[in-house]
Amino acid sequence: MRSDSRKQKIRVSGGALRVVLIYAVFSSLWILFSDAAVGFMFEDRELMTLVSTLKGWLFVAVTALLLYVLVRGLINEAMGYAELEQAARREKERTAGLLEAIVDSSSDAIFAKDRDGRYLMISREVCRLVRKEAEQIVGRDDTFIFPAEQAEIVRKNDLVAMNGGHVATYEENMTTADGDRIFLATKGPLRDSDGQIIGVFGISRDITERKQAEEALRRSEENFRLFFEKNSSVMLLINPVTGEIIDANGEAVRYYGYARDQLLKMAIGDINILSPEQVALERRRAIKGERTVFLFQHRLASGEIRDVESYVTPIETSRMPLLLSIVHDITDRRRVEKALSESEERLRLALSASNQGWFDIDLKIGKIDVSADYVRLIGYDPDVFDSTLKSWTALVHPEDRAAFTAALEQCALDGVPHTIEYRCRTVTGEWIWIRSVGKTVEWDEARRAARIIGIHTDISEWKRMEEHVRQLAFYDALTGLPNRRLLHDRLIQAMLASKRSGRYCALMFIDLDNFKPLNDTHGHDAGDLLLVEVAARMRRCIREMDTVARFGGDEFVVMICELDPNDPEQVRAQALAVAEKIRLSLSQPYRISLRRDEGDPLSVVHHCSASIGVTLFVNHEIDAGEILKRADGAMYQAKEAGRNTIRFWS
């Protein structure tokens, strides 16, 4: 604008000079030519005088008119320049107002300072952050609004931006009305119209929440890394697109038999014996969440093929989305299942070949014919067995009777084979499991079912094996207590229930004191008997709804649920009461009877106490791994405190 004003003054001065020059030239030419013309045209002196007088008046009139035209043009040009200057000034004011509105409307702190660090301009956000008016801040430096050490750091950053002559970005920790906050400050040199640096400008954005989120993500990934590395299950992190193994925990290295660096150069398709196309298909299903549990066969480094059950779930990491695969070896379980299936098939063929276990129901009269072997199976005399549908139904367990009746009715309605498993009472009152498969084979004139035939199979042994497999998977073989896997499932359920109800839960990590000397002196059989007794004592100390699990070796975990939702101190007292009850029970002498190959049984009395670590949790505040870690840490505090004592995590 200053340059435009200067140009306008030059134009106006030039216009005035132009008027003067035109007037001078015109006057000179008039005088020169008019006098010569009068002398040439007139000889009479009186006439020449008259003509000269008229010529003078004409000169005045013409020059006045010429001056009027020239001055009028100059005035119009000056007015035009003035209007342009006024319009430019209005546009500048409008732009400045718009810029001020933008600055004051921004949620970022915007400012400008002179070379000495004094504020020239600040936005409303700056005023809000420091709880001062703009009039108080402008003309003052940062020591007026921030602590000295913070103001010194800000000044150093300002000088770097000014002296460097380019825009730079800094993270600055500032004390504001909102508390201690972290700002991402973008600063650059402030220049005048001649390009000279006269100060610094800056825009500071509050990134506290973002930094907190980044820190939370970092901690979460650290917790996951700890969970991943220390987990006793085989775990793999897989690239969902390429199938490359991104990471493997120590248990995976041990299980597959490859060195870790070798395993990380492989893809899951190098382990899974499915075709590459099928492996990719299953990976896509996992990514979409269509399936989470997969049954595969994996090849170990030794060449052995093992049956595995993989729990696969997509996870997000700071680097990329991955698939977390938790692998359980189920080779032994599959062998048991295969044996059960083959046993069942042999039984079915045997029954079919010998016509044993059949039934024939006449729905019109409610009479049922059954094979003699089936009647003997349930302990009755075939000659006196009441063969009616009502008596047969009466033998069905009350809890299964509704489902049994519904299956029978459905079989009569749709005519397709139906299978029902139920418990049947024998003559001795024992309950055995029966699987009945029946089909409607005859209808009356109204197309209603008239006759159903089928076979019975005693599946009690299969059910026992099924329960045995479940015990192997979820329970400790020695004590019959839940194992780590079932404990983890129940802990997750307890956390979810706590989140819904707001009620506290307590987790106790229990380690036996003085257990090893018993093993060393009397052998592992004695140690096993003591562990069985420990399990029995702890069961008697808790409610049926609570859980006691064997964590491994002589370590146990007790989980108490549904504690007081309102008073943490009351919760602590409740948990302490249970822990003390367990501690006192476990500290009582153990009387162990050992069988010897020769001679009388040996009776051993052993004293064994327990160190107990307790942690409380509520509302899903931390993950399951952290809860166990806290209880374990508290247990070690109890050990260090002299053993046979209780410590809470703090």
Instruction: Show which of 285, 300, 329 is a domain's final residue.
Output: 329
Amino acid 355: pLDDT: 41
Alpha-carbon distance values, 595 to 479, 534, 535 (Å) = 19, 20, 21
Average pLDDT, integer, range 113-131: 89
Give me the CATH number covering residue 237: 3.30.450.20
345 — pLDDT class (breaks 50, 70, 90): low
Query: Distances in Å between the alpha carbon of 313 and those of 244, 271, 586, 627?
Result: 16, 19, 41, 22
One domain, residues 530 and 600: yes
Contact 201, 190 (CB under 8 A): yes
Residues 132 and 246 in one domain: no
pLDDT of 104 above 50:
yes
- Binned at pLDDT 50, 70 and 90, residue 639 comes out as very high
Q: Residues 154, 159, 162, CA angle at the centre, nearest 5°?
A: 125
Give yes or no for residue 1 having a pLDDT over 50.
Answer: no
Whether the pLDDT of residue 510 is over 90: the answer is: yes
Residue 644: pLDDT band with limits 50, 70, 90: very high
Q: Could you tell me which of 427, 327, 316, 333 has the C-alpha nearest to residue 374?
A: 427
Say how far apart CA 483 and CA 282 lie, in whole Å.
30
pTM for this one?
0.37
Sheet holding 119-122, edge to edge: 119-122, 109-114, 197-206, 179-191, 168-176
- Highest average pLDDT, of 308-312, 430-434, 462-466, comes from 308-312
Q: Are strands 590-594 and 602-606 parallel, antiparallel or unpaired?
A: antiparallel
Residues 470-493, mean pLDDT to the nearest whole number: 86
pLDDT at position 354, please? Answer: 46
Query: Are 164 and 282 in the same domain?
Result: no
Shared domain for 614 and 491, answered yes or no, is yes
One domain, residues 360 and 449: yes
| Alpha carbon distances (Å) from 239 to 270, 280, 291, 299 | 14, 11, 17, 19
Query: Per-residue pLDDT for 2 more than 80?
Result: no
Residue 344 predicted with pLDDT over 70: no
pLDDT tens string 54-81:
766 776 676 777 667 766 766 777 676 6
Residue 96 has pLDDT above 70, yes or no: no
Select from 102, 130, 146 the last residue of a domain.
Answer: 102
Residues 89 and 73 in one domain: yes
Same domain, 456 and 531: no
Model confidence at 36: pLDDT above 80: no
Cα(255)–Cα(427) distance, integer angstroms: 51
Q: Kindly state whether residue 339 falls inside one of the protein's structural domains.
A: no
Domain count, the chain: 5
Q: In this structure, are 221 and 315 located in the same domain?
A: yes
pLDDT at 338: 86
Domain boundary among 329, 360, 393: 329
pLDDT in tens, 226-263: 777 888 889 999 999 999 999 999 899 999 999 999 99
Specify whether 480 is located in the same domain as 612.
yes
Q: How many helices (H) and strands (E) does the chain have?
A: 19, 22
How many Cβ atoms from other residues are within 10 Å of residue 350's Cβ? 11
Shared domain for 445 and 458, answered yes or no, is: yes
As a three-state string, the secondary structure of 540-584 is: HHCCCCCEEEEEECCEEEEEECCCCCCCHHHHHHHHHHHHHHHHH
The span from the CA of 22 to the CA of 24, in Å, is 6
Q: Are residues 481 and 536 in the same domain?
A: yes
Q: What CATH number does residue 572 fall under?
A: 3.30.70.270
Q: Containing domain of residue 29, as a range?
A: 2-102
Give the confidence band of 268 by pLDDT, cuts at 50, 70, 90: very high
Place of tokens 């840490």: 633
- Residue 338 within any structural domain of the chain: no
In a domain, 343, yes or no: no
Instruction: Report the pLDDT averaged over residues 75-98.
Output: 68
Whether residue 320 sits in one domain with residue 232: yes
Note the helical H segments in 231-330: 250-256, 260-263, 276-288
Residue 434 lies in a domain: yes
Average pLDDT over all residues of the chain: 83
